[in-house]
Amino acid sequence: MKRTLGVCYYPEQWDEAVWAEDARRMAALGLTWVRIGEFAWTRMEPVEGVYDWGWLDRAIAVLGAAGLRVVLGTPTATPPRWMLTKHPDMLALDKEGRPRGFGSRRHYCFSSRPYRAECARIVTAMAERYGRNPDVAAWQTDNEYACHDTVLSYSPAALHAFRDWLAQRYQSPQALNRAWGNVFWSMDYASFDEIGLPNLTVTEANPAHVMAFRRFASDEVAGFNRLQVDILRRHSEAPIAHNYMGQITDFDHFAVGADLDIAAWDAYPLGFLSDRLPATAEHRRRFVRQGDPDFQAFHHDLYRAVGRGRWWIMEQQPGPVNWAPWNPDPLPGMARLWAWEAFAHGAEAVCYFRWRQAPFAQEQMHAGLLRPDSVAAPAFAEAEQVAGELAAMPDVAVERAEVAVVFDYTSAWAWETQPQGRDFSYFRLVFEAYRALRRLGLNIDILPPDMADLSGYKLVLVPGVATMSPALLGALAAFVGTALVGPRSNSKTAEFATPVPLAPNLPGLNARVMRVESLPPDVPVPLAAGGQFLHWREKLEGSAEVVETCADGFAALVRAGGMHYLAGWPDAATWGMVLRPLCEAQGIAVVEMPEGLRQRRAGGVRFLFNYDAEPVAFDGVVVPAAGVHWG
């Protein structure tokens, strides 16, 4: 497969006179793809029912004539102001019940049926017009579902749809009462119409109620997306993508991804390190102009799974962004490194965001490949270099990894609903396990939680999966490799109750969690052989073989054959201590990667990515600062 580059472009923001020159420069730079359209609703339909496709016809034609291929975005993340006059109830309400108003973007509630009808209308009009246009080679639905915290809405529309959803799931209020344990605090309902949304309660709502709402809200995103996909497919054979985000778990991306052809994600490494990722001050300083060495790779592997093998970067940071607490300039080389790392993880395309920096509105301070005066910005030359390298290089095929980590969105909701300790973040738990595997130089696959067949893997990690699916439990029972499950895995039923027999209740493993405790971050639980648990530890009973113990005598790691259970949250060094022998016993070759250097094998090629600001010597190679080496 030929791996390609692209860019995000907003023809509606520029004088038509510059389009041809822009297109010429994009093609000369070596770009293949141009994503357009995703925020242009007021230009497509300035007045209700009055369409203006002329400019979009011409923009697509100009890009196509330059040899570029268009990814056409549906504009449903930015409904025009007139629509709000027509449907004042289309807005989402926040947890306090306040409307999330007009004047930026994503001002809609996924549950608003009138808004869905408007979306169906504009998407149908676009699909009819451009579905067979040879220059439109892919579609994007909406833009970044969940961005700006927009999945959960406490609107009357959401309430109405939630009640319907509950009625379908539980069939009777009595069944719902039983499933949720509503006898506790006399919370029983006599009718689905009595059930509210789980906000504005006096103290915490029933966690089963919250979890039902989270599942519902996720289904609403999937349903909203499916509506668009079904329309597009009726008129077009081009593949359909959505651009997901980093460290966003508010909806089940596997469920949305099942309806799409390509999982794309938007990679802003410096913004993420500054804004999102839990990290020490020293770590943030060290990687401030490069980004976290594992954060991008984690999402590449996650979205490869969400896309069932097909995935892109739809937006790649090209310079400082505007939205993080601090917005440093990437080190020279990073715009190239990030692209190559994506290709090494199997990206079909990497598109930079955006072509030219906007001189107006919210993102004036966000860099593009061009400055506002159209002079090339620093990332321009790096993109050009990548384009040249791609043309010269044989393909880098993705190989199946020996090691896999299960990722489950539902578990993120579960532990947000009932953290039990302030630091219990599901994303963080999985990410730290992933990072520990990368520090051992390994390729990793991320797997969905309903994986029914683990054959081919040697080591599979299942950290923190709240409710392990029958499929996964069956796959583990049949698995001949090493499994490392826990902490906190399989400790809730599908209705968010405590299961009896007690967790983890794994095939063949005689071990029960009889007590859990959460601890402040400065109170570790030391292990007997060195290392420690942080945040969370469990006390086990049962006859399973003890592999590691805590200094206070409780088991830290137990096993029966290849099935292992981990009874706490290891710190970074302890993850390494636990994982190394498991890898070695399976014949998985490990190395100690230097702190800022990572490797990935693809198609017989080993790539080294140096996230440090200094050159790093490793295995007979010196990788330049912010540089890539392959061979």
List contacts with ligand GAL (CB under 6 A).
143-144, 147, 266, 268, 315, 321, 323, 353, 363, 366
Nearer to ligand GAL, 116 or 242 (CB): 242
- Residue 484's H or E segment, with its range, is strand 482-485
Q: Are 259 and 222 in contact (CB under 8 A)?
A: yes
Task: Examine the residue annotation and report whether 315 is marked as an active-site residue of this protein.
Answer: yes
Record the tokens describing residue 11, joined without a space: 């023809």
Please, what is the minimum distance in Å from the beta carbon of residue 581 to ligand GAL? 41
How many Cβ atoms sit within 10 Å of the Cβ of residue 162? Answer: 22
Of 162 and 353, the one with the shorter C-beta distance to ligand GAL is 353
Nearest distance from C-beta of residue 9 to ligand GAL, angstroms: 12
Nearest C-alpha neighbor of 564 from the set 577, 550, 582, 539: 582
Give me the phi and psi of 485, to 5 degrees please: -110, 150
Q: How far apart are CA 528 and CA 552, in angstroms?
A: 8
Nearer to ligand GAL, 268 or 431 (CB): 268
Query: How far apart, in whole angstroms, are the C-alpha atoms of residue 268 and residue 76?
Result: 23
Report phi then psi at 434, rounded to 5.
-60, -45
Shortest distance, position 580 Cβ to ligand GAL, whole Å: 38
Shortest spacing between CB 322 and ligand GAL, in angstroms: 7
Shortest distance in whole angstroms from residue 323 CB to ligand GAL: 6
- Count other Cβ atoms within 10 Å, centred on residue 406: 29
Provide the minimum distance between the beta carbon of 484 and ligand GAL in the complex, in angstroms, as a whole number: 34
Hey, what are 467's tokens?
């409710």
Residues 323/271, Cβ–Cβ less than 8 Å = yes
Q: Which CB sits closer to ligand GAL, 162 or 268? A: 268
Residues 6+ apart with CB under 8 A from 219: 165, 255
Residue among 116 and 366 whose Cβ is closer to ligand GAL:
366
Q: CB-wise, 248 or 347, nearer to ligand GAL?
A: 248
Comparing CB distances to ligand GAL, the nearer of 104 and 498 is 104
State how far the Cα of 11 lies from the Cα of 315, in Å rounded to an integer.
17
CA angle 161, 166, 171 (to 5 degrees): 130
Cα pseudo-dihedral 112, 115, 121, 124, rounded to 10? -60
Dig out the tokens for 379 from the structure: 């990332």
For 455-471, the DSSP string reads: TT-SEEEETT-SS--HH
**Cβ nearer to ligand GAL, comparing 313 with 347:** 313
Q: Which of 315, 382, 402, 538 is catalytic?
A: 315
User: Phi and psi dihedrals of 447, rounded to 5?
Assistant: -120, 145
Whether 60 contacts 125, CB under 8 Å? no
- Please, where are the H alpha helices in 307-405? 334-344, 378-392
Nearer to ligand GAL, 157 or 350 (CB): 350
Cβ 94 vs Cβ 133: under 8 Å? no
Count other C-beta atoms under 10 Å from residue 503's C-beta: 26
Pick left, alpha or beta for residue 318 (phi over 0 → left; psi -120 to 50 → alpha; otherwise beta).
alpha
3-state SS, residue 51? coil
State CA 348 to chain mean position distance: 17
- Specify the residue, 246 or 441, whose C-beta has the smaller distance to ligand GAL: 246
- Note if 144 is an active site residue: yes
Q: Which two tokens stand for residue 93?
A: 């309400």
Least CB distance from residue 353 to ligand GAL, whole Å? 6
Look at phi and psi of residue 123 and say left if phi exceeds 0, alpha if psi is from -120 to 50, else beta. alpha
Q: Tell me how far, at minimum, the Cβ of 374 lies from ligand GAL, in Å.
A: 20
- Radius of gyration over every alpha carbon of the chain, rounded to an integer in angstroms: 25
Cβ-Cβ contacts under 8 Å for 396 (sequence gap 6 or more): 3, 343, 344, 346, 602, 603, 605, 607
Q: Tally Cβ neighbours within 10 Å of residue 323.
A: 13
Q: How far is the CB of 376 from ligand GAL (least distance, A)?
A: 20
Query: Omega into 524 within 30° of 0, i.e. cis?
Result: no
When the beta carbons of 157 and 321 are compared against ligand GAL, the nearer one is 321
Q: Which of 38, 45, 144, 220 is catalytic?
A: 144
Q: Whole-number minimum distance, CB 520 to ligand GAL, in Å?
A: 34
The distance of closest approach from Cβ of residue 510 to ligand GAL in the complex, given in angstroms and rounded to an integer, is 48
DSSP string, 253-276: HHHHHTT-SEEEEEE-HHHHHHHT
Rounded Cα distance, 180 and 450, in Å: 23
Our CB check for ligand GAL shows the closer of 36 and 433 to be: 36
Q: Amino acid letter at 287?
A: F
Rounded to a whole number of angstroms, the minimum distance from the CB of residue 321 to ligand GAL is 5
Kindly list the catalytic residues.
144, 315
